[in-house]
Every structure is written in C-alpha cells, then in structure tokens.
Structure 1
C-alpha cells in the first residue's frame, strides 16, 4: 500500500464519505487514478465504493449509503409503502431504505410517521403527513436518538406498523445489529404489539453482528429482494415470518 492510499483511507475514515473529485484534488492525481486506488482498497475491505464517492466501512452516513444499490432500495421502499393503509400511524427507524420509504409516504396527509431519525424528519419538513420525532440522546453518527428517554417515548406513542432496518441475519443468531444503543431502541419497538417489518436488501443475510434484534418477538414480515437464498427464505417462513421478495425496477419518488 502506498502513501496516497493510506491518505485516502485516513480521509474516508475521518469524514465518513469523500467524493472521487475531492480525493483527486487533495491527493493531486487524476480521478482515474483515484478510482483505481478505491478499487484496490475496497477489494481489501478498507472502504466501500458508492456512486462517485468512497464511504467508510463503519459509516452511518445515510445520504452516502443511499447511493449504494439505489434502484433496488427504491423498489423495496415503494413496496413497503404499499403495505401502509390510509389513516395509519407507522414507526420508521433510521437507515437509507427507510428514508426512501418515508419519502413515498410523505404526501399522504392521513398518515402519521413516528421516527427516531432526525435525518428522516428533515426529509419530511415540507411533507403533508404528520411527523412525530421522538426525544432522546442524539447520536451524531446516525442522526438518530437513543437511550432511556427514547425508550420511554416509544412506550407512550402508538402506531400500527413498524419498519426496521437490520444489519444482519444468520440461522445461528437470528436478526442482529451493529450498534448497541440503536439495537436497544429497535427491541423496545419490537416489544409492542404491532405489525413489524424488517426492510433490507439480501446482502445482510448470512451476516452476524454483536447485538440481538427481536430476541423475544420475531419480525412478522421481511421485505427483501430475490437475492435472498431459498434456504434462508424457508428458514424464515418456518419461523412464521412472511417473506416478501421485491425485484429491482426503475421507479420514481
């Protein structure tokens, strides 16, 4: 690894996301050379590439992550929106696909969206739907609130459906999350008697992370794509989880 590549890793880890054009300017090499460096660094798991940028492996930058597999995330979000009925209140957790879901629901003035994500709340500032933003400790990296106050807020608000992003699922562990405090909030939502949806692309299946999600009350639905293996699909369905597989398509918001 050369000095320029080390500099790129440092910049990406410090900022979470850096564009190719900015990396080219900082390192004083062409964008073609930067892309070659990024390909090498991604191959060795030092960072992730998204359209026009490099993203830290640990990045919680929702806007950057939204660019990754964007057409698929659009399709998943549009399908998830079709599961919401007029007049319902829905909880939408953080994450890029959930942010797209919120945008699909934004212009229905009969719907109330409850969220812990300040990023999602910002997207909805000009929307017609009602928006309830829960309180708590602001986690800057994810732009979400966490902690005991957030748990208390969840107990005091009511909603019919909840859409949750997951970090991993494995036959040995079930659903898991990377962040302890955010996983705790998900589990507070899962403890309520509501219809719950895990909204995620198939790349999360087969992965294990430290913190259990829904250890006592499993998700009722999984919305994913046909990349989910038939074996995993059958395992989920044997747990009475309804699996919805959505094909990627060109859709508008």
Structure 2
C-alpha cells in the first residue's frame, strides 16, 4: 500500500504513478492509496483542472507538462497571494532572535517580514531595498543601514559593486532572500541578474540564509542563479510544487516541515 499522509502528498503520488504508467483506473488508485473512489475522483478532478492529467471513462491519463506549468495549485487571486505571502513572512520571522544582525534583500515577501520583527530588541538591519526603509523605521527600533549602490530608473533595489561590497564587509547573522524561480538542480533564481549578484554576496557573507518564495517558476534557468538549496539553511514556500521538486529537497539535505495554511518549510537536516 502506498503512503497516504494528506491530500497534497497523495495527489503528488498520483501524478507520479499516472506519469509512470501512462494510464491508471480509479479503482487501481483507490486500492493503491486505500481511500474511497469518491476521494480519488475528487483528486483527479483537481489534477485535471491543473492540467496534470486527463480523465476518460474511469481512468486517468498523464498530460505532458510545458515549462512553468508544473504547479499543483491554481493561480491565486490577489487576496490569496497576499495572505500566503504574509504567512510565509511570519514563519520566516520566527527564525530571528534578539541582538542579531540581519540582511534583507528585495521582494514582496521579504518586505512583509518587517512588521513581525517589531517585538525583537537590539537588531541591526542591512537593507538592499530603499522602499523598505520607511516601514522599518515605523515598525522597528533598531540600527538601520542601507547597502548603497546603484539605483536603476524606477527601481528601489540597490545593486552594483558597491552594494555587493557593502554586504561582504559586514557581519551578518541571518539574511532573507526571495526567489522568483527554482530549477531541477535546486538552483534558486532571481529575474534580475544585478539583484542576484547582491543576493549571492549576502548568502556567502551570512552565517545563515533563509529563502522565501511564492509560486516560483519551476523551470530551467529562467533567471539568474544566486544560490543552490544545498547552500541555504531553510526554504519557505507555498505547497504548489511538483513531485520532482519535493523529491529533490531531501537529496539536497533539506528536511520537510509542514506549516499551517499550506506553507512548506524545507530546513537543513541536523543529521
């Protein structure tokens, strides 16, 4: 009997089973996962809506995926996305202790971490995004330093050699970075190469690195690599990732911890 630990894991396993066999009946899936045919049909309806398979006459057939379409959750509306990003930010903030030196990169989720640090004392913040400076002053009583560097027209994230050097010159206990993509080798991607270089410098300088992401593009190198998941301490992400990505994490030394509201935390194994 195959393991059954909730609907997400079962649906991930169903996709893999159908992919390997090409076609599987509802009855076979019901027996394999030890759940009712009604439950399996609900799973198949969901997976068909997400374009993972096609249902026909009591069977499920695998539907080959196009790059960037291998996500097991619907495209979220604005309110759902904001709520999930806020939850990810809250969990990320739990890793921060009093008296720590932090580096905050740019990104919506990283921005949302700030209010959750309001009860910490004696923090030192190094910030890449000038758009975060005012909220940081509003929510926090701490040392606040900007990386400096170049600002492209319309951008709020500082980049360039000065920003990279500013990060490497400082002692950083923990840095928070936001990924826009994740490839099959476990490389974390950023759409802006200049931002990615600052991220990479921060990751190298920091004692610990936590990466956050919401529905990142799960394709091959659609962006600039700033780290591999094997080089970070934790990845906080929504549960919309596909089976190969789920299987990749333990091979890279990250252990899965399921959090509330459909958030997954992959944390560096202590074994």
Shorter-chain-normalised TM-score: which range?
0.5 to 0.7
Following TM superposition, by how much is the alpha carbon of 1:173 offset from its aligned partner in structure 2, in angstroms? 6.5
Post-superposition Cα deviations, 1:133-186, rounded to whole Å, max 9, x if no partner, equal: 111112343301100111111121111111100110011462122111101111
Aligned to 1:70: 82
Aligned to 1:96: 108
1:134 to 139, 147, 150: 147
Q: 1:157 to 1:213 in 2, by over 3 A?
A: same
Residues of 2 paired with 1:245 and 1:49: CA distance? 20
Alignment of 1:81 onto 2:93: yes
Q: Give structure 1 regions of 4+ aligned residues with deviation exceeding 6 angstroms.
A: none
Post-superposition Cα deviations, 1:105-146, rounded to whole Å, max 9, x if no partner, equal: 134232222111101112112222322211111234330110
Alignment of 1:223 onto 2:236: yes
* More displaced stretch, 160-169 vs 135-144: 135-144
Aligned to 2:184: 171
Post-superposition Cα deviations, 1:68-115, rounded to whole Å, max 9, x if no partner, equal: 711101110010011111211111111110001022113423222211
1:241 to 245, 254, 258: 254
Q: Aligned residue pairs: how many?
A: 187
1:174-193 residue pairs with structure 2 within 5 A?
Answer: 174-193=187-206
* More displaced stretch, 206-215 vs 179-188: 206-215
User: Between Structure 1 and Structure 2, whose CA radius of gyration is higher?
Assistant: 2
Aligned to 2:223: 210
Residues of 1 paired with 2:163 and 2:175: CA distance? 15
Structure 1 alignment gaps of length 5 or more: 1-47, 52-66
Q: 1:173 to 1:104 in 2, by over 3 A?
A: closer
Residues of 2 paired with 1:243 and 1:141: CA distance? 38
1:196 to 191, 209, 213: 209
Aligned to 2:137: 125
Query: Tell me, what secondary structure is at the counterpart of 1:151?
Result: helix
Structure 2 alignment gaps of length 5 or more: 1-74, 263-271
Residues of 1 paired with 2:198 and 2:255: CA distance? 23
Q: 1:223 to 1:49 in 2, by over 3 A?
A: closer
Following TM superposition, by how much is the alpha carbon of 1:193 offset from its aligned partner in structure 2, in angstroms? 4.8
TM-score by length of 2: 0.62
Residues of 2 paired with 1:72 and 1:102: CA distance? 16
Q: Is the 8 A contact 2:171 2:206 kept in 1?
A: no
Measured on the aligned residues, the alpha-carbon RMSD in Å equals 2.6
